[in-house]
Amino acid sequence: MEELDLHLMSNSRPELFDFEGISMIHYFTDNWKNIQNFQARPDDILIATYPKAGTTWVSFIMDLLYFGNIEPERQTTLPIYMRVPFIEGAFPGLPPGAEQADKLPTTPRLIKTHLPVQLVPKSFWEQNCRVVYVARNAKDNAVSYFHFDRMNMAQPDPGDWNNFFNLFMNGKTVFGPWYDHVSGYWERKMTYSNIHYMFFEDIVEDTGREVDRLCTFLGLSTSAEERERIAKSVHFDAMKKNKMTNYSTVPVMDFKISPFMRKGKVGDWKNHFTVAQNETFDEHYKQKMKNTTLQFRTEI
């Protein structure tokens, strides 16, 4: 496996800039032409999320559903980010995500994106690909993103919690406003039926049930025994210990600041939001989400 180029990445954090109306960093726009021209195949499956909504969790579930039995060596040799390439990623020292996705030898190809719905390469829609979208309530999503930006030198510096709290509400986080992201895919689902919309909170509440629903969407007839085994393998504690899923192999992440598999809980926002912040956030949220039927749970 090629190594990320530490020298290029660890010295300075990337700057945020406006790209097609979305706050972005160059790691996700450098390869833009190839991303937009990506040729999807009808059986490709796109795993789309706002960052920190449970991408890795659902990626691992899907990898196990499709390849857990037929390629057992994969489980000890291939980190999840190699199995499920990040299509817009263009990190120094690694092949660009679009190229990795293009060369995936598997069928189906599982491909990850954080792009808002309007920036997803057209061919995924044209080929009527399945899209699995995972959404997480805004408060926990914000907290998780804050800790991620603290520890990941390839992300902009989040400043302190209060600073990041404001950035999040104003959509000045990488991949733009959470509000538009989650509601964009939700609205798309009304006209494009091949989207399965999942909630992080539901997976925490009952992983087995969510794996069942996912199998129904994917048209997989996995045995109950197998699904139970998968639910166990993707438990937070198991994934935190598993080097193939815990991102410990990525040098730009400083686990001394915060681990990738941090808490995996619903409601951790209560340990971060002050009473005043919570009031401000709720008021702003009501405005931002007033035109959507999408509902989240901030506790279970």
Query: Which of 228, 219, 227 lies closest to 196 in space, CA to CA?
Result: 219
152: left (phi over 0), alpha (psi -120 to 50) or beta: beta
Return d(Cα 89, Cα 100) in angstroms, integer.
10
Q: Which of residues 91-120 bind ligand A3P (CB under 6 A)?
A: none
Label residue 259 exposed, middle or buried (CB < 10 Å: 0-12, 13-18, 19+). Answer: middle
* Residue 158 is a binding residue for ligand A3P (CB under 6 A): no
Q: How far apart are CB 21 and ligand A3P at their closest, in Å?
A: 23
* Residue 268 is a binding residue for ligand A3P (CB under 6 A): yes
Name 110's bridge partners. Answer: 45
* Residue 57 is a binding residue for ligand A3P (CB under 6 A): yes
Contact 281, 140 (CB under 8 A): no
Return d(Cα 225, Cα 60) in angstroms, integer.
18
Residue sitting closest to ligand A3P (CB): 264
Nearer to ligand A3P by C-beta: 101 or 291? 101
Question: Which CA distances in Å does 179 have to 214, 287, 296?
Answer: 24, 10, 12
Site mask for ligand A3P (CB under 6 A), range 194-223, x = bound: ------------------------------
Site residue total, ligand A3P (CB under 6 A) = 20
Active site residue 147: no
Contact 151, 80 (CB under 8 A): no
Residue identified by tokens 């914000």 is 142
Return d(Cα 45, Cα 41) in angstroms, integer.
9
Nearer to ligand A3P by C-beta: 9 or 143? 143
Q: How far apart are CB 33 and ligand A3P at their closest, in Å?
A: 26
Which residue among 113, 144, 152, 222 contacts ligand A3P (CB under 6 A)?
144
> Which candidate in 114, 147, 196, 272 is catalytic?
114
Nearer to ligand A3P by C-beta: 18 or 254? 254
Nearer to ligand A3P by C-beta: 23 or 56? 56
Of all helices (H) and strands (E), which one includes residue 45? strand 45-49
Q: Which of residues 36-55 bind ligand A3P (CB under 6 A)?
A: 49, 51-55
Binding site for ligand A3P (CB under 6 A): 49, 51-57, 140, 144, 147, 234-236, 239, 261-264, 268
Catalytic residue set: 114
